[in-house]
Structure 1
Amino acid sequence: MARPGRPLKAGRVQRYTTVVLGAGGVGKSALVMRYGQNKFLDRYDPTIEEEYEVTVEYEGRRSVLNIIDTAGVEQFTGINENYIQRGVGFVLVFSLTQEASLRELDHIRQHIYRIKGGEQASSILASDGRNHRTDQGYNRTFPSYQAMQELAVKWGLPFYETSAKKGWHVSEVFNDLLSRMRKRYPNGTPQSKKRRRDQCHIM
């Protein structure tokens, strides 16, 4: 978000296509809704595909994120590959209570690298926000925070442990990704011609 009292820089607003990927039920939609509309989805409703246009004021600049909230990608299809072709930034989401969801992310990460190449896309690794059920914590089954940091270093990705329910570190995920996309693509990416399903603004 823009710092209070800091004027926005003049110039054309850049647009960036961001794709949220991960296995089904890991909290992708919860993270997107918390970031875009500051709401928490308490009930799991399987996503087919949703697109959101989010106007963000961050570091003194305004940008527009076209966020594609995808269905679970237990197996890759042509549709999944089309998402990757369209995107320049990726949020890779897994569940701290579903070990298989982290293994799935490794496949997704490799697909992104194969389709886009290492120099053409920015990615962020984020833990599940849906399973933070109570103030006392959640049923974490794996892995330790230190182990995740080590894996993130191995994969070359920044890692955030988030909670969509509490709002913890959700903005940091998307803002970090936005900074990386701005550096890699200072002129933004072409705006999708597909009709937007929803609109929201981050101030």
Structure 2
Amino acid sequence: MSGHFLLAPIPESSTDCFLPKDIKLAVLGAGLVGKSAMIVRFLTKRFLGDYEPNTGKLYSRLVYVEGDQLSLQIQDTPGGIQAQDGLSQAVDSLSKCVQWAEGFLLVYSITDYDSYQAMRPLCQLIRKVHPDSKAPVVTVGNRGDLQHARQVQTQNGVPLASELGSLFLEISTSENYEDVCDVFQHLCKEVSRAHSPAGERRRASVIPRPGSPNVQDPKQRFKQALSSKVKAASALG
């Protein structure tokens, strides 16, 4: 089994007699950064274009994560959030969604500096709504294939993620399904571990935060940290 397919859909006819655990994720970011495209790409493996419908749609799917059956819910949020006038009002409108979710994907486009600037207010909202918890957060610079139009450098994303206390990764939703899958896998695993007793968590599975002296290449470290799970899944496949 490939490590990029650890989150495998469960057939609708599954007759498992136990109730799945809930995993609630929210994908936040400015408009037209590819949030909806990332979700659809992850769930269907197909890239349907960089559309960004402002519907706030909720996606549901039964999946397996490391052998556990989970009920995955992904909340897509409306676009229109920009680091300009009206940002505070837009952020306030997301409070209920942030309160509902347990893990967060903050997405900006490397071709849109304003979308990058919207990351801090969004993360501040998450920490305000969840002050007593370490809700997992991943910061993603999307559209990594559009290097000719880049406005946000990679070296800008790394310190931002370190400041926000999140993992950082640059990806291309249109070109690399595996990176998109890695992002959601990591979030699901971190939320799942948060649901487990502290004694059951394996320290070796914790991914170093950006900003650590040992973190030179966030993308490489991200994949290395998942490698042990990938090998375990392959052995069982």
* SS of equivalent residue, structure 1 residue 93: strand
Cα offset for 1:36?
1.0
Q: TM-score, normalised by structure 2?
A: 0.67
Which letter maps to 2:25? T
Shift of 1:97: 0.6
Corresponding position: 1:37 with 2:44: yes
Rounded Cα–Cα distance in structure 2 between residues aligned with 1:103 and 1:83? 21
DSSP 3-state at the match of 2:149:
coil
Distance 2:183 2:114 in 1: 22
Tell me the SS of whatever aligns to 1:94.
Answer: strand
- In structure 2, the residue matched to 1:52 is 59
**1:132 maps to which of 142, 145, 148:** 145
Alignment partners' CA distance in 2, 1:77 and 1:154: 19
The equivalent of 1:2 in structure 2 is 6
The gaps in structure 2 that reach 5 residues or longer are 9-16, 198-237
Name the residue aligned to 2:22: 15
Give 1:194's aligned residue. none
1:106 equivalent to 2:120? Answer: yes
Q: After superposition, where does 1:90-105 map in structure 2 within 5 Å?
A: 90-105=104-119
Contact 2:35 2:52 in 1 (8 A): no
Which of 127, 144, 158 does residue 149 from structure 1 map onto?
Answer: 158
Report the Cα distance in structure 1 between the residues aligned to 2:148 and 2:54, rounded to whole angstroms.
Answer: 23
SS in 1 for 2:94: helix
Cα deviation for residue 39 of structure 1 reads 1.7
Question: How far apart, CA to CA, are the structure 2 residues paired with 1:3 and 1:66?
Answer: 13
Q: Which amino acid aligns with 1:92?
A: L
**1:95-114 CA distances to partner (integer Å, 9 max, x unpaired)?**
10111111101100001111
Task: Give the RMSD, CA atoms, in angstroms.
Answer: 2.4
Alpha-carbon deviations, 1:18-51, whole Å to 9, x = none? 1100000011001100111112132524322111
Alpha-carbon separation, structure 2, partners of 1:52 and 1:106: 26
1:107-147 superposed Cα distances (whole Å, 9 cap, x missing partner) = 00001111111515211111114x736xxx5522221x344
- Identity score, percent: 27
Aligned equivalents of 1:87, 1:104: Cα separation in 2: 19
TM-score of the superposition, structure 1-length normalised? 0.78
- Consecutive aligned runs of 4 or more in structure 1 exceeding 6 Å deviation: none
Bigger radius of gyration among the two: 2
The match for 1:62 is: 69
Distance in structure 2 (CA, Å) of the matches to 1:43 and 1:3: 23
Q: 1:64-98: per-residue Cα shift (whole Å, max 9, x none)?
A: 21100011233325531110111111110001011
Residues matched between the structures, number: 177
Aligned AA for 2:68?
A: R
Separation in structure 2 between the aligned mates of residue 163 and residue 11 of structure 1, nearest angstrom: 37
Separation in 2 of the partners of 1:36 and 1:111? Answer: 27
Task: Flag the structure with more relative contact order, 1 or 2, with Cα contacts below 8 A and sequence separation at least 6.
Answer: 1
Residue 168 of structure 1: how far off its partner (Å): 4.4
